[in-house]
Structure 1
Amino acid sequence: MSIKDGASATGSKLLKGATILGIAAVVSKLMGTLQKIPLQNIGGDQTFGVYSAVYPFYILIMFLATAGFPVAVSKFVSERTAQGNERGARRVLYVSSMILMLTGLLFFCILFFGAGLIAGWIHNDQTKPAIQSAAFALLFVPQMASLRGYFQGRQNMVPTAISQVIEQGVRVAVMLMLLLYLHAAHYPDSWIAAGATFGSAAGALAGLAYMLYCWFKELKNGSAERLRGQAEEKDEPLFPLVKQIVYYALPICLGSIVVPILNIVDSFTMPRLLHLHGLSMEAAMVQFGVYNRGLTLVQLVSMIAGSVAVAIVPSIAEAKAVGSLRSIRIRTELSVRLTWLLGLASSAGLAMTAYPVNVMLYKNTEGTAAIAILAFTALFSTLNITSASILQGMGSVLIPAVNMLLSTALKAVLNVALLPVWGINGTAAATVLAFAMAAILNIIALTRRTGVRFSPAHYLYKPMLAIIGMCVLLFMLIHGSEAALRSIPVSMTFRQAQTIVSLIAVGGGALAFFLLIFRVGVIDAKDLESVPNAGRKLLPLLIRFRLLGRPQAVQKK
């Protein structure tokens, strides 16, 4: 096989691996987000509030214990595998497992034995059992992280992908079983929330069990044969290897913990501020749970929109590798524009449908205004995700992290200023403004690094025409379907009726926006040709159905 063929095969393998990991990440995140809906439906807003206050701490501690290590292990294993040093690749795994076992135990102790102190910071004693319950996951996740890094370093993404889905599936299943049992047995809300957080430990154990199965399977399938010729070789010195792994993983870890820190701001400030302004601890947690209804919906929208938009970002790294500044500018602008459009449509659509969607998912209309405000977090969070990914692809790793830290400080200040005045609606506005600040700072950094310019026609005038058209249609669909359902002689509950209204509105609004962005010229044929395979697959359909603003220009080409 020629060098060119080998490079092509390697690129194909990497692309396939990235696709597998991407699909698994979307599936696992989708399950993780959707599981919050039955949690609120069964446990109620107070249980949901306790869970929502605790979960950011769990995520932060998990990142501190593991973040950066899968990437670091993957890098060092890949290097040694490429050199034919199977023994060295194994040693990287053993050393990283040892480090992560110690960090896992350390942070387990911090979370379990420090649960009372953390509950005091949150200003709610009800959170203590849930904090202690979540701590048990730290006994399993770090080891799973090192094994995932090992297989990724060998360019085998399947074990990681499957373990992610298994972990999330078991986590949701155990959470639901404990939730149903504890609720039926009339346990207090604090223990019901603890049962929900224990699902994370059960899922981590299942994911680790699968990774160990893959590891022992590899031991039997020829890996031992590759080691025989290296039996006489000396192992790498322990402490220099530990230093290499930690030094590589630490910056990645620091960059990863920024977003959880922003979420912890709400856990620290909201219950305390709500209590200081007249609510009991229980009522404060109910309000915190109502507020987190909107965050769950935004996370779902951001995940879907962000996954679609960020799909083009790897092409930035390719353009940088060949030194094509023009390609970087074109692809950066298109990535940001796609994200802007998806985020804008998602935000406006969720704000318009907040009332029926709230009833459909959470049974009543509590917090509808907060959901409508939080909807615009989808616009700025997806824009932040894409712009940060592009900056990181260009080597500017610290800029997005610093911008998020500044936004976190702004969020804390705005929470203190706005919550006493407007309640959870003020906190929702603070969240939108914080993410807007992070996104704007990233965009400014992008313009300085690449020289890319963002046309008002493509970002304001034409998109607003599409958004206005979509919103007018949504208004007609919502009120028209409500009127139609009232005239139908079929008995249905308020929630059932609003579910039908939501599905009609969401489906119709999404289709309308998709058609309008082509009709008003927000995206044209030239843009689509910049996306791999779009010209071959999508353009003929758009031309055939006369959806492009100027199809004749395409045909001349």
Structure 2
Amino acid sequence: MQVDEKNKNDDLIDTSGQDKMIQGSAWMTAGSILSRILGALYIIPWRILFGEALFLQANALYVQGYNVYSLFLIISIAGIPSAIAKQVAHYNALNEYGVGIRLYKRGLLLSVVTGIVCALILYIGAPLLDGHNENVIPIMHSLAWAVLVIPTMSLTRGYFQGYQDMAPSAISQFAEQLIRVIYMLLSAFLILKVFHGSWIDAVAQSTFAAFIGALAGLAILGLYYFKRKKYYDSLVANSNNKVKVNTNQLYKEIISQAVPFIVLASGITIFQLIDQYTFFKIMHLATNYSDAHLNALYTIFAGNANKLIMITISLASAMAITVVPLLSEAYTRNDNEAIKKQISNGLVLFMFVMLPASLGMAAVAGPLNRVFYGTSQAALSANVLAFSSIIGISFGLFTVIAAMMQGISQNKRAVKFFVVGTIAKALTQFPFVFFFGIFGPLLSSAFGFIVANYLIVRSLDRQFGIEYKFISDKINRILVYSIATYMVALIVVHLGNKLVGLFMNQYSSVGSFIVVMLSAIIGGYVYILLSLKNRLADDIIGNKMDSLRRILRIK
């Protein structure tokens, strides 16, 4: 009888953990995906505002500024938000909510300092970082303001995530992107069309929009914080108050947790930097292409394709953020069984979303590329985007399982495995680029992440015993349904091109957009239908799918 009661309690714990993960994933996925979509869609009206003659120049200037800005942003944030989320969840699990509050306040001071320092370095050092292009200097100056604010905003998001409260993060993330896009389009319209000003000033204001968006996101978080303040105060009042942590120890905990997050959070960026500094040199040895042609090739795989596949990779990022505090709680309780179940559930949930999304993007790569970037080198661009979509699965998987390692306080081991993967990437970079050209950097990146992923999964399995039977059964079904979705989407693209061609140019931006929407809707419906009809969605997400099944009238 006691054993039965224990099993019931275990089931309740596991179900609660899974529900938290799914609810958190839903919020973070929605916020991340909507933000990514907005961050990609702006390119269409932005391109129209600048016109074909100026768009490439403006976009090149925009990307050059953002590459440097991204590096400073990673340094200024320093992994502190995720570290705070993990440590707050740790102390909350011990009923030491007061320590979590103190941790947040000390982290807030640290984030303000790092934001100011990095913003000043970027602003003052812009002439040294412009790459001999003076037009980049005002772009960096405008982006320095965002570096000032975003660390504080990101830290506050991490604090909410430590309570498994993902709604504030998701809503603020969407608000940040929405306001940013509105400002950049409105400012570009006023400067270029109303006042007929400089296109460089228009780009500078478009990048300054990151600061405006950050202020909006921070304001949303502030409203949520004050709305929940009484609740947090009650938790502190009822804490055990047995753990005493001095200020220096709090800073030590933040920094010790943050440093590995810097390396792992910038994993994709590090791989892209390897491409940036080696692609041109290797291609000059392998071909007689001009610098202009190599710039075009680099833009196709490192700029255009990367921007679109990050929409699907952001799904993985959203789930990774959710997994960290949950695993931290289980690790604090020394509950290995819960850790094993959460790792298994996390991997399956990742594949449930990532596989159909990646294959779906590969299926519509042709028209999707034309929607955003026009018809220049359309065939090559479509092939690179399709290939990048598949490669992106390994990128996203690394994001998830690296976060899992961090959630169980194995940061150094995760960093070590990433370093091995980076070495694998570096060793294969020359032969892959030399023989496969534009596809070479993507192949070497996939190889590097596959190596790192293998090492991390092997380590997790040895420690906790991953439920491979549970995972393989679910992933096999996901793969079958995803391939079916891919085939349907390909057919719809083919038929959609012919249908749209009866009324307009199917290769125009509007015609291609219609084809993409038809393929996405029909392909997405097929995947949902198969997942609901065969109860796969129920097995992964739970009985909450019954309401969706009733709406779609699926038995």
For the aligned pair, the TM-score class normalised by the smaller chain equals 0.7 to 0.9
2:39 aligned partner: 32
Q: How far off its partner does 1:357 sit?
A: 1.5
Per-residue deviation, 1:517: 6.1
Deviation at 1:105, TM superposition (A): 2.5
Contact 2:25 2:322 in 1 (8 A): no
**Preserved CA contact (<8 Å) 2:184 2:205:** yes
Could you say if the C-alpha distance between residues 24 and 418 of structure 1 is closer, same or farther in structure 2, counting changes exceeding 3 Å? same
Q: 1:517 to 1:282 in 2, by over 3 A?
A: same
The alignment status of 1:202 with 2:217, answered yes or no, reads no
| Deviation (angstroms), 1:371 | 0.8
Task: Measure, in 1, the Cα distance between the counterparts of 2:61 and 2:487.
Answer: 38
Q: Which of 153, 177, 181 is residue 172 of structure 1 equivalent to?
A: 181
| Deviation of 1:459 (Å) | 8.1
TM-score (norm 1): 0.73
Distance apart, 1:376 and its partner CA: 0.8
Q: What does 1:256-405 correspond to in 2, within 5 Å?
A: 256-270=265-279, 284-291=294-301, 292-304=303-315, 307=318, 329=340, 332-340=343-351, 342-364=353-375, 366=377, 367-405=381-419
State the alpha-carbon separation in 2 of the partners of residues 247 and 212 from structure 1.
27
Question: What does residue 463 of structure 2 align with?
Answer: 449
Q: Provide, for residues 409-438 of structure 1, a one-character-per-residue CA deviation record: whole Å limited to 9, x for no partner.
A: 444454544445554333333343333333
Provide TM-score, normalisation by structure 2.
0.73
Residues 544 and 89 of structure 1: CA distance in aligned 2, closer, same or farther (over 3 Å) = closer
1:365-414 CA-to-partner distances (Å, cap 9, x unmatched) read 53222112111123222322333344344443344443334334444454
Tell whether the 8 Å contact from 1:134 to 1:198 is kept in structure 2 after alignment.
yes
3-state DSSP class of the match of 1:443? Answer: helix
Render the CA deviation track for 1:279-323: whole Å, top value 9, x for unaligned.
666665544433322112211122246657987887766776776
- Shift in CA distance, 495/138, structure 1 to aligned 2, threshold 3 Å: closer
Alpha-carbon distance in structure 1 between the residues aligned to 2:544 and 2:295? 48
State the Cα deviation string for residues 114-170 of structure 1 (Å, max 9, x = none): 3344344xx866644433332221222234445556666788776655543333222
Change (3 A) 1:45 1:322: same
Q: Whole-Å Cα distance in 2 between the matches of residues 208 and 526 of structure 1?
A: 38
- Which of 148, 173, 176 aligns to 1:139? It is 148
Aligned 8 A contact 2:149 2:211 in 1: yes
CA offsets, 1:62-86, max 9 Å, x none? 222123434555647996996686x
Would the aligned equivalents of 2:172 and 2:220 in 1 still touch at CA under 8 Å? Answer: yes
Cα distance between partner residues in 2 of 1:258 and 1:384: 9
1:61 aligned to 72, 79, 87, which one?
A: 72
Query: How far apart in 1 are the matches of 2:49 and 2:263?
Result: 36
Give 5+ residue unaligned stretches, structure 1.
228-234, 546-557
Seen in structure 2, the aligned counterparts of structure 1 residues 189 and 459 have a Cα distance that, compared at 3 Å, is farther
2:491 is matched by which residue type in structure 1?
M
Cα distance in 1 between the residues matched to 2:509 and 2:517? 12
Alignment counterpart, residue 255 of structure 2, candidates 246, 254, 263: 246
CA contact (8 A) 1:271 1:284 kept: yes
SS at match of 1:533: coil
RMSD of the TM alignment (CA)?
A: 5.0
**Contact 1:45-1:285 within 8 A present in 2 as well:** no
Cα deviation digits, residues 421-478 of structure 1 (max 9, x gap): 5543333333433333333333333332333364697489766654554444334322
Counterpart secondary structure, 1:376: helix
In 1, distance between residues paired with 2:150 and 2:75?
A: 12
**What is the distance in 2 between the residues matched to 1:473 and 1:320?**
43
Distance 1:273 1:181, change over 3 A: farther
Give yes or no for the alignment of 1:494 onto 2:508. yes
- Equivalent position SS for 1:452: coil
- Aligned match of 2:489: 474
Q: Which amino acid aligns with 2:123?
A: F
Letter in 2 for 1:499: F
Change (3 A) 1:36 1:412: farther
Greater displacement, 344-353 / 526-535: 526-535
After TM superposition, the structure 1 stretch with the greater mean CA deviation from structure 2, 370-379 or 75-84, is: 75-84
- Match of 1:260, SS state, is helix
Match of 2:111 in 1: 100
Amino acid in structure 2 at the alignment position of 1:263: Q
Report if the CA contact (8 A) 2:433-2:439 is conserved. Answer: yes
Structure 2 distance, partners of 1:146, 1:453, is 34
Matched, 1:407 2:414: no
For 2:450, the aligned partner's letter is A
Single out whichever of 64-73 and 316-325 deviates more from structure 2: 316-325
1:165-206 CA deviation, whole Å, 9 max, x = no partner?
A: 333222222222344455557877766544332221222234
The verdict on how the C-alpha distance between 1:536 and 1:267 changes in structure 2, with shifts beyond 3 A counting, is same
Q: Provide closer, same or farther for how the CA distance between residues 40 and 300 of structure 1 changes in structure 2, counting only shifts above 3 A.
A: farther
Distance 1:226 1:472 in 2: 52
SS of equivalent residue, structure 2 residue 142: helix
Q: Which amino acid aligns with 1:479?
A: H
> For residues 223-242 of structure 1, what are the structure 2 equivalents within 5 Å?
239=248, 242=251
The 3 A distance-change label for structure 1 pair 310 and 480 is farther
Range with bigger deviation, 11-20 or 243-252 = 11-20
Equivalences, count: 523
Q: Is the 8 A contact 1:312 1:531 kept in 2?
A: no
**In the superposition, relative to structure 1, how do residues 330 and 265 fare at CA in structure 2: closer, same or farther (>3 Å)?**
same
Label 1:171 to 1:293 Cα distance change in 2 as closer, same or farther (>3 A).
same
* Contact 1:387/1:443 (<8 A) preserved: yes
1:358 partner letter: N
Q: CA deviation at 1:217?
A: 8.6
Deviations 1:25-44 (A, max 9, x none): 44434433443454556553
Instruction: Verify the 8 A CA contact 1:140 1:204 in the aligned structure 2.
Output: yes
Which shows bigger deviation, 126-135 or 287-296? 126-135
Deviation of 1:355 after TM superposition, in Å, equals 1.1
Q: Indicate the residue corresponding to 1:555 in structure 2.
A: none
Distance in 1 (CA, whole Å) between partners of 2:373 and 2:382 is 10
Q: CA deviation at 1:341?
A: 5.1
Q: In terms of mean alpha carbon deviation, does 337-346 or 500-509 score higher?
A: 337-346
Give 2:63's aligned residue: 52
Evaluate the alpha carbon distance shift between residue 439 and residue 514 of structure 1 in structure 2; reply closer, same or farther with a 3 A threshold: farther
The amino acid of 1:372's aligned partner reads A
Tell me the distance in 2 between the aligned counterparts of 1:262 and 1:141: 24
Q: Distance in 1 between matches of 2:524 and 2:62?
A: 32
Output the CA distance in 2 between the equivalents of 1:361 and 1:473.
Answer: 23
Separation in 1 of the partners of 2:56 and 2:308? 15
Between 326-335 and 364-373, the greater mean CA deviation after superposition: 326-335
Change over 3 Å in CA distance of 1:315–1:65 after alignment to 2: closer
Bigger mean CA offset, 261-270 vs 277-286: 277-286
Residue pair 1:408, 1:434 contacting (<8 A) in 2 also: yes
State how far apart, in whole Å, the 1-side matches of 2:145 and 2:46 are. Answer: 20
Amino acid of the structure 2 residue aligned with 1:477: V
Q: Distance in 1 between matches of 2:19 and 2:355?
A: 35
